[in-house]
Chains A and B, each alone.
Chain A
Amino acid sequence: MAASGARLHLVTPVWNRSTRGIRGLSRAVGPEGSQKKGRSLLQFLADRFYDVQALREYLLRKQVLTVHQKNRPFTYIQERFGPHVAGVYFILKQGGAVKFQGKEWIRSNARGHFPLDFVTFQAVPVEAVDASGCAINYQGLDSLLALKELQSLWLQRCPHVDDWCLSRLHPLANSLQELSLAGCPRISERGLACLHHLQNLRRLDISDLPAVSNPGLTQILVEEMLPSCEVLGADWAQGLKSGPEEQSRDTASPIPA
């Protein structure tokens, strides 16, 4: 049962850019090989037996719930030590790292433990947060936004950070100077457009965002939008491709004098 559970492909892995929207209402292309076989058997069973279908729906819901559960705010800590400490605790619990002003980075170890002495730093502002690879989502951002003096924020490769999250960063507009969104699979140019609230931004990393349709053009437009900010991103020529007809014309045309 456990083995088959692992093979229940509940959601298609990541949003595929080549299928634009669901305009075609196309079914997801199944994975290749043996997985495909197992999958079609599963599909077959799900189509014919309500139990299998219900089980798969339940597992899909459960998957979503786990992300929600991970992003619940720590209300007890919030009440006891204030939102500031709760925010730091949340980040550390997620597996991220936090830097208080004038202090060392605090990071959880391999087993998920971290020193709890930061609860005494209530008056010290948090300078930087590294939440790279954390399962933080829109709801979890609540805890993060309590850190009003945040200057640097790394959100690299966060699977659940999307355009909706970026639209929520505006309360940090006065302090935030450095933001890294590299490698987030769900961020597109639509979310990047609302970074214009962050006028104090000095450094922005938007490289390697697979959901952005035109990386080069987007980078130019973001640079225009945030004139005082250094934007790290894809090489502007990355999105360009020299078409075959252009190449053939080049060879056919006479050498310019």
Chain B
Amino acid sequence: MLRRALRLGLGRGPLSRGLGTHRGDSTLDQNGKLSEIKKKIQSVLPGGAWNPLYNTSHLPPEHSDVVIVGGGVIGLSVAYWLKRLEKRRGAIRVLVVERDHTYSRASTVLSVGGIRQQFSVPENIQLSLFSIEFLRNINEYLAVVDDPPLDIQFNPAGYLLLASEKGAAVMESNVKVQRQEGAKVCLMSPEQLRNKFPWINTEGVALASYGMEHEGWFDPWCLLQGLRRKVQSMGVLFCHGEVTRFVSSSSHAVTTSGEEVTLKRIHEVHVKRDHSLEYQPVECAIVINAAGAWSGQIAELAGVGKGPPGTLQGTRLPVELRKRYVYFWHCPQGPGLETPFVIDASGAYFRREGLGNNYLGGCSPTEEEEPDPGNLEVDHDFFQNKVWPPLAQRVPAFETLKVRNAWAGYYDYNTFDQNGVVGPHPLVVNMYFATGFSGHGLQQAPAVGRAVAEMVLDGHFQTINLSPFLFNRFYLGVKVQEHNII
């Protein structure tokens, strides 16, 4: 009874509905009255951009403090941490611009979903450890009142990296770094490996490292939707559209060494609606480039890399689109429930999927045989020639397998050093990057989001010092190289 009364009183009734929306423009316009009224208003209020007679509910807002380009897992994570770390509730207005709401080509959902700490750069290990903590407590971080808890479907199976004679020394030093950072990794001899996983052929393996905890794989879609749900409940605005232009101003400055540089500041982002020519200029203070594989284009739009080569101005964001295949196969005699995420010394990898002896796997192609990233078609010969032979050699049971499915996804491949780019651009002062993770973006997203949010809000990194990942390194030529990158 009370509910009905409240409903009647508080805006669900037919009366308020009629008044609340802006429908019915077309009926007014039939006898040309609309344009007359418009003219009248314009003569009374010259220069005012406000126009009450257009329905603009489908357009993004005209102002937003932060515009995040890219609504994938990194972009949403940045939005989440911005809202969480803001000093006062509702202090920052955040807009996430995503081109494809079905995420049909997004790297997030087409990935295999692995998370590991077996890196050689300490920052990468820290990022991954932070993220695993986030995933473990995901229902505390991403809890929304009245919504069911998330089931991230984490498989704590661990990663098993195999090294040949050549790579053994590198692996040993890597594991030392990983243990220092707090990862639970153990080294195994071929003998131990045979005892533990009898289905592995240890021929050519000199050393193996195996993650005991905090490693495995999870459901990327669940993380994405969980972030989306939470971020929406925190008041972040979403917009379905594409960034087509940045309106910026530039000022000239001279460095201490006498070089002249042009500092740019973005004032407006033009967001174009999908399948239409309509666009909305969004006034903003900060732009975050989290467009993943397409972030190179976004950076170019903002004028990054437009300058004489060899200068900071001419340094472009070296993030490219790269296509990677994932194959899904069935093998009745294959390894059982204990199967970890195996990465062979050849670079081929596989993991178990579900309980029915199904496996996922693939391999990164070499620089020369990089496929054309124009579409997401799968090259099945690649499996026959490059993925299957090393896997069948490693796991003899895979001699008889049947490929059931395959798909391709994109890497936001950093051609410079295959590591992420985080933090502001030195010349386009209000553009921040969170991109270029070359395949580890999903597993590091929660931590990267926090790092970028800290950079935006406090001006420096706090939780994890990601200063080696700043944009400057492309100009200075300092590579953050991962040994044994897969």
Contacts and interface: CB of A to CB of B under 8 A. Distances in A.
A218 B229 contact: no
B148 A19 contact: yes
Interface centre among A19, A46, A164, A192 (most CB of B within 10 A): A164
A28 B148 contact: yes
Interface in B327-371: 336-338, 355-356
A222 B148 CA distance: 30
Interface in A14-40: 15-16, 19, 21-23, 25-28, 37, 40
Nearest to A189: B355
A191 B156 contact: yes
A196 B338 contact: yes
A60 B148 contact: no
Contact of A15 (B10, B145, B147, B151): B151
A40 B2 CA distance: 11
A53 B136 contact: no
A240 interface: no
The B interface, classified by DSSP as helix, strand, loop or mixed, is loop
Contact of A64 (B143, B151, B213): B143
Given A48-B10, A168-B213, A214-B355, A22 B148 contact: yes
A53 to B, nearest CB: 7
Given A167-B156, A167-B213, A21 B145 contact: no
Contacts of A163: 154-156
Contacts of B151: 15, 21-22
Interface stretch (B217-225, B253-261, B308-316): B217-225
Given A53-B145, A192-B337, A225-B338, 10 more contacts: A10-B145, A15-B149, A61-B140, A61-B143, A163-B154, A163-B155, A164-B136, A167-B213, A190-B154, A217-B356
Interface of B: 2-3, 6, 10, 136, 139-140, 143, 145-151, 153-158, 212-213, 216, 219, 221-222, 225-226, 229, 336-338, 355-356
12 contacts: A11-B143, A15-B151, A16-B148, A21-B150, A21-B219, A21-B222, A23-B221, A28-B146, A56-B145, A190-B155, A190-B156, A222-B337
Interface of A: 9-12, 15-16, 19, 21-23, 25-28, 37, 40-41, 43-44, 46, 48, 53, 56-57, 60-61, 64, 138, 163-164, 166-168, 170, 189-194, 196-197, 213-214, 217-218, 221-222, 224-225
